[in-house]
Amino acid sequence: MRLARTGVVLGVGVLIGVAACTGGGTAADRGRQVYQANCTSCHAADPAQNGPLGPAVKGPSKELLEARILRGGYPPGYTPKRTSTVMQPLPNLAGSLDDLVAYLKP
């Protein structure tokens, strides 16, 4: 009986772990994970604050994120918060743009 109960507990734990690793949760939850893994070395952990290299990034349009993250540029007519050119394109994040928009929305 005890062995069966241990097996059930382990099985539930594995299912929870798999769900967490497969990008479950809301778009904002997934965006937070992407932001923490890829952005916080330059931008602040709190996207509403300036980081050591990058400006605050709370509330960008999807158009701005696409231009900055995928192409390393800016949308037409946009005035950058900083004039640095340190940020390099991160095209591997193309599939996460909607999640980042959801996390960074004001």
- The total domain count for the chain is 1
Residue 3: predicted pLDDT: 54
Tell me whether residue 67 is in a domain: yes
For residues 57 and 80, the answer to whether their CB atoms sit within 8 Å is no
Tell me whether residue 50 is in a domain: yes
pLDDT range class, residue 1, cuts 50, 70, 90: low
Average pLDDT estimate for 79-92: 91
Tell me whether residue 17 is in a domain: no
CATH number at residue 70: 1.10.760
Tell me whether residue 15 is in a domain: no
> Tens digits of per-residue pLDDT, 11-67?
444 444 444 555 579 999 999 999 999 999 999 999 999 999 999 999 999 999 999
Domain that holds residue 47: 27-104
Tell me whether residue 21 is in a domain: no
Closest CA relative to residue 38, chosen from 96, 81, 105, 84: 96
Tell me whether residue 18 is in a domain: no
Residue 102: predicted pLDDT: 98
Tell me whether residue 6 is in a domain: no
What does pTM read for this prediction? 0.75
